[in-house]
Amino acid sequence: MSRSPSPPASSLNSSGTSEVCSVDGDEATVYAPSSIGNVAVGYDVLGCIADVAGDRVTVRRIDEPTVRIAGIEGTVTDLPTALEQNTATAGLLRMIDDLGLDFGFEVYLQKGIPLGSGMGGSAASAVGSAVAANALLDDPLSIDRVFAYALIGEAVASGAIHPDNVAPCLYGGVVLTRSVDPPDVIHLPVPETVRCVLVHPDRTVATRDARARLPERLPYDDIVQQTAHIAAFVAGCYRGDVDLIGRSLRDFIVEPYRAELVPGFSSVKRAAIQAGALGCSLSGAGPACFAWARAGDADDVRTAMLDAFGDQDVPAEAWVVKTQTPGARLV
Amino acid sequence: MSRSPSPPASSLNSSGTSEVCSVDGDEATVYAPSSIGNVAVGYDVLGCIADVAGDRVTVRRIDEPTVRIAGIEGTVTDLPTALEQNTATAGLLRMIDDLGLDFGFEVYLQKGIPLGSGMGGSAASAVGSAVAANALLDDPLSIDRVFAYALIGEAVASGAIHPDNVAPCLYGGVVLTRSVDPPDVIHLPVPETVRCVLVHPDRTVATRDARARLPERLPYDDIVQQTAHIAAFVAGCYRGDVDLIGRSLRDFIVEPYRAELVPGFSSVKRAAIQAGALGCSLSGAGPACFAWARAGDADDVRTAMLDAFGDQDVPAEAWVVKTQTPGARLV
């Protein structure tokens, strides 16, 4: 099995189509990076790659039309081994069934993204296995069809179809998912000068628990605010207007209910904004937090957020990354 | 008083700033066109000019620091004459107060937009009077400050600050309002090939009644859909992607609750879509309906919508207009 320590160049070309059909032999390994779901303004529909860690999924073609787990190593090893319950295998079962394959897949999973971190770990496993298995098909599917199988895997972790981490992990960059069936995924041209600061405190939040914190329903005032801000955010991206992105990068519908799940979040956010961040919110369900900042402010924002967690006696690690980097790719 | 039968060229220059400071004498007349609120995807935050009718507001500078109504003529004459209750005067009272003016305004209102039509009639009166009064100031305000006074007038009609008609009526084109305080209004570059079909059935719906039809709160599923679609709609505008605009021009949060207020709406919408419309929904609170369509389909869509109202024995009139036309201007 090939497990190079650093990911190679993207397998996604500029048109967003996958080149995953070029693989030799009966085995493929895919690196699938961490990502940020929601990105403040886009609960369940917006996601951003944040390549600070990644899962590495190796899939081997086997003779029987079934799926096997060969092993799980890395940051998480106590994942479900029931094939229907594992994010890396559930989509492959469906793929075999849908396509009527007369062969199957053996999956070896090397977890690099901590579970329950809010950094898209389950999505990465689901995307990595789907991209790798697709590369072993006699007639590989389009990236949009791979997306569907990755979503099935991700649904195992969160209980429903959620594209906000799967989409950036697969397509790269900052992506909006208008629809999952049929897939309608839109790359947003975030200005190159914007950096993403990702901070991971040494805590865990279960996605299912985070969803349970949300009220059943929301008043129109909050909905109106959220729609105005995601619309303005998208306009800011296309206009290359960093100030407008900064005015728009806010969450009225999720963060207010989940913030208290992350100890110290309010002071971390305050510190980020004071240090010049365009905006700051939870990464997915948390506990990881992210901020966007101009390149010249990003290091200050990172330090401020780390210090704020430190003041709460919460150990944390943090990174500054670009937003327009590629998603999952063969290694 | 000057009341030319057709509006002259725009007083808005390409940067969106007003040139309303160039007026002679102590009197100014403004033409303020009809508009479409919500535009399906943007409840309370998105609006589109649809210049098929307009209010004409003449304001004369008077010596006393107060506001007087000199007359109301046209499609509606039974409007409130209490200054705090009239959309054309409420904002001017505040303007005199805020600016400490030692003079006042006399307002003559010629209504061209039917009341309760869903075509932005109250917004037009509010915008028209604010733009005209501003032109009479010794130091005219920026267009964003005029916006604030027009919003005060509009609030009289609907009970709260709503920018979805005021913004397009003032700024022209298709505009998103992220924030009213401070004003943050964004022009969206809808492709030139898109036409707007506006259909006005001979019925009325009171905005307050329409708002009362909405539930108090909405489930997350609907909110997620709406945010995804307004975001994709904005992306479609900037990309010039008419297909994406068509896939996105939908309303999950208001139309389902208000549609039954407009007799025949569901069949009108079905007819519009079958005739090739990109999307179709209520114009504001209705009963007017609108569709967007490619230029080549617009006449068919118009005919189909009129016929569908006719099948319900509802008389209606309809127009095909461009979306990127100017807002209120001095005549």
CA–CA–CA angle A293, A296, A302 (5° rounding) = 55
Cα B151 to Cα B156: distance, rounded to the nearest angstrom: 9
Interchain pair A184, B42: CB under 8 A: no
Decide: helix, strand or coil at residue A264.
Answer: coil
Interchain pair A228, B188: CB under 8 A: no
Give residue A69's pLDDT.
Answer: 94
Q: Which CATH class is domain A10-186+326-330?
A: alpha beta
β-pair partners for B39: none
User: Among A176, A216, A233, whose Cβ lies nearest the Cβ of B228?
Assistant: A176
Interchain pair B218, A218: CB under 8 A: yes
User: Among A177, A219, A223, whose Cβ lies nearest the Cβ of B226?
Assistant: A223
Q: Are A223 and B223 in contact (CB under 8 A)?
A: yes
Give residue A4's pLDDT.
Answer: 34
Interchain pair A178, B247: CB under 8 A: yes
Give residue B304's pLDDT.
Answer: 98
Cα B115 to Cα B122: distance, rounded to the nearest angstrom: 7
Digit-coded pLDDT (tens) for B181-215: 999 999 999 999 999 999 999 988 877 778 789 99
Whole-model pTM: value is 0.92
Decide: helix, strand or coil at residue B288.
Answer: coil
Whether the CB of A39 is below 8 Å from some CB of chain B: the reply is no
Interchain pair B220, A218: CB under 8 A: yes
Give residue A24's pLDDT.
Answer: 64
Give residue B24's pLDDT.
Answer: 64
**Ranges of chain A whose pLDDT falls below 50:** 1-22
Residues of B in contact with A223 (CB under 8 A): 43, 218, 223, 226, 253
Whether the CB of B243 is below 8 Å from some CB of chain A: the reply is no
Q: Are B279 and B246 in contact (CB under 8 A)?
A: yes
Q: For the complex shown, is ipTM > 0.95? A: no
- pLDDT tens across the length of chain B (331 residues): 333 333 333 333 333 334 444 466 799 999 999 999 999 999 999 999 999 999 999 999 999 999 999 999 988 777 787 888 889 999 999 999 999 999 999 999 999 999 889 999 999 999 999 999 999 999 999 999 999 999 999 998 877 889 999 999 999 999 999 999 999 999 999 999 999 999 999 988 877 778 789 999 999 999 999 999 999 999 999 999 999 999 999 999 999 999 989 989 999 999 999 999 999 999 999 999 999 999 999 999 999 999 999 999 999 999 999 999 999 999 9
Residues of A in contact with B186 (CB under 8 A): 231-232, 235, 244
Whether the CB of B179 is below 8 Å from some CB of chain A: the reply is yes
Q: Could you state, in order of their start, the residue ranges of all structural domains in chain B?
A: 10-186+326-330, 194-322
Whether the CB of B214 is below 8 Å from some CB of chain A: the reply is yes
Q: Are A178 and A107 in contact (CB under 8 A)?
A: no
Q: Which CATH superfamily includes the segment(s) A194-322?
A: GHMP kinase, C-terminal domain (3.30.70.890)
Same fold, A10-186+326-330 and A194-322: no
Q: Are B153 and B126 in contact (CB under 8 A)?
A: yes
Q: How far is CA A226 from CA A213, A255, A303, B220, in A?
A: 18, 12, 29, 12
User: Among A46, A214, A231, whose Cβ lies nearest the Cβ of B234?
Assistant: A231
Mutation site, A45, A175, A178, interface B, largest B CB count within 10 A: A178
Q: In the sheet where B194-201 sits, what is the strand order?
A: B279-282, B289-294, B194-201, B316-322
DSSP for B44-101, please give it: TTEEEEEEEEEEEEEEEEESSSSEEEEEEEES------STTT-TTTHHHHHHHHHHT-
Residue whose tokens read 């081994």:
A81
Digit-coded pLDDT (tens) for A221-242: 999 999 999 999 999 999 999 9
Structure tokens at A291: 């901020």
**In angstroms, what separates the C-alpha of B35 from chain A's closest C-alpha?**
19
Whether the CB of B218 is below 8 Å from some CB of chain A: the reply is yes
